[in-house]
Amino acid sequence: MAAAHENPDQLVTSSDPEHPANLIPSLCAKFWTLGWVTGTGGGCSIRDDNLVYIAPSGVQKELMKPADIYVLSLKDQEPSLKQRTYLRSPPLYKPSQCTPLFLAAFTRRGAGCCIHTHSHWAVLVTLLLEAKGSSVFEINNIEQIKGFGKGMGKVGNLGYHDTLRIPVIENTPHEEDLTEYLEAAMEEYPDTYAVLVRRHGVYVWGDNVHKAKTQCESLDYLFQLAVEMHQLGLPWISSIAQIGPQR
C-alpha cells in the first residue's frame, strides 16, 4: 500500500480483468445494456479488504474507464461518514452521492460489492406498493427466489416456498441523506440483501461481486415478473401446498 500511496493511479492500474478497477467498468457497461444505469443514474462499488472502489458521479456508465474510479480506505474514514478521505480521486469527476450507502453495505453487512440501479421495474414496484400503502415487497413460490442467500452469516439460500421480503424506504432529495433510512431498513430486515428506494431504484449487495451481481439480476427478474403479474391480475403471494419429499 505504501507504493500505492506514493502513486495513487497504481490503485486502479492492473492487467487482471478481475481487479475492481477493471470489473466496475465492465459491470457498469453490462448494466447499461440492461437499462439499470441509464443517463448516468445508478452505480457500483467493490470492496477488497479495506479498500473500496467506487464509480464517480455523473459518468456515462457504459463508457467508464478504470482511471475514472475513486478509491478510499475503510480504515481512514471518520465515524461521521460525511467526511471522507480518498486514496485516489480521478481528476475530472465528483464523488458519487451513493458513497455512504455503499459504505453502509460494506461496514454493516460485510458486503464485498454493492450495486445501485434505477431499473424502472424496481421503480414501478415501489409505485405499486405506494398505491396500497406498503413499504415492503413480498413474493413467494417463484423459483428465482432461490437466487438469494438466507441472510448475512446464515448458510444457504432461500427456498422456493420462502417469502422474499425487500423493504422500501422513502426517497430523499439528496441521495446521501438516504443513508440513515437505508441503515434503519438493514436493522429492521437483518436478512435482506437489498433495499428498494421509492420512486428511485434499488440497492443490492452481496458477499462478493458474483453474489451481488446475480442477486441483483434475480431481483430485477422478480420485479419485472411482479409488475407483469400485477397487470395480469395475479397476486405476488400465494398459498401452495408443497409437493415432493420433505427434507
Binding site residue list for substrate: 98
What are the cell numbers at 214? 446475480
Active-site residue flag, 18: no
Are 8 and 41 within 8 A, CB to CB?
Answer: no
How far is Cα 193 from Cα 12, in angstroms, rounded to an integer? 27
SS3 category, 202: strand
150 lines the binding site for a copy of itself (CB under 8 A): no
How far is Cα 26 from Cα 28, in angstroms, rounded to an integer? 5
Q: Which residues pair with 86 in a beta bridge?
A: 72
Q: Indicate which residue of 62, 143, 176, 183 is catalytic.
A: 143
135 lines the binding site for a copy of itself (CB under 8 A): no
How far is Cα 207 from Cα 188, in angstroms, rounded to an integer? 20
Candidate segments 46-54, 70-78, 80-88, 153-161, binder of a copy of itself by CB under 8 A: 153-161
132 lines the binding site for a copy of itself (CB under 8 A): no
Candidate segments 44-52, 65-73, 79-87, 209-217, binder of a copy of itself by CB under 8 A: 209-217
Binding mask 73-102 for a copy of itself (x = CB under 8 A): ------------------------------
Site for a copy of itself in 107-126 (CB under 8 A): 118, 120, 123-124
How far is Cα 110 from Cα 175, in angstroms, rounded to an integer? 22
227 lines the binding site for a copy of itself (CB under 8 A): yes
According to CB under 8 A, which one of 9, 76, 138, 177 is a site residue for a copy of itself? 177
Using only the alpha carbons of the chain, give its radius of gyration.
18
How far is Cα 12 from Cα 91, in angstroms, rounded to an integer? 13
Phi and psi at residue 215, in whole multiples of 5°? -70, -35
Where on the chain is the footprint of a copy of itself (CB under 8 A)? 35, 38-41, 60, 118, 120, 123-124, 127-128, 131, 141-144, 147, 159-161, 170-174, 177-178, 181, 197, 199-201, 210, 213-215, 217-218, 220-221, 224-225, 227-234, 240, 242-245, 247
Q: Which residues are catalytic?
A: 143
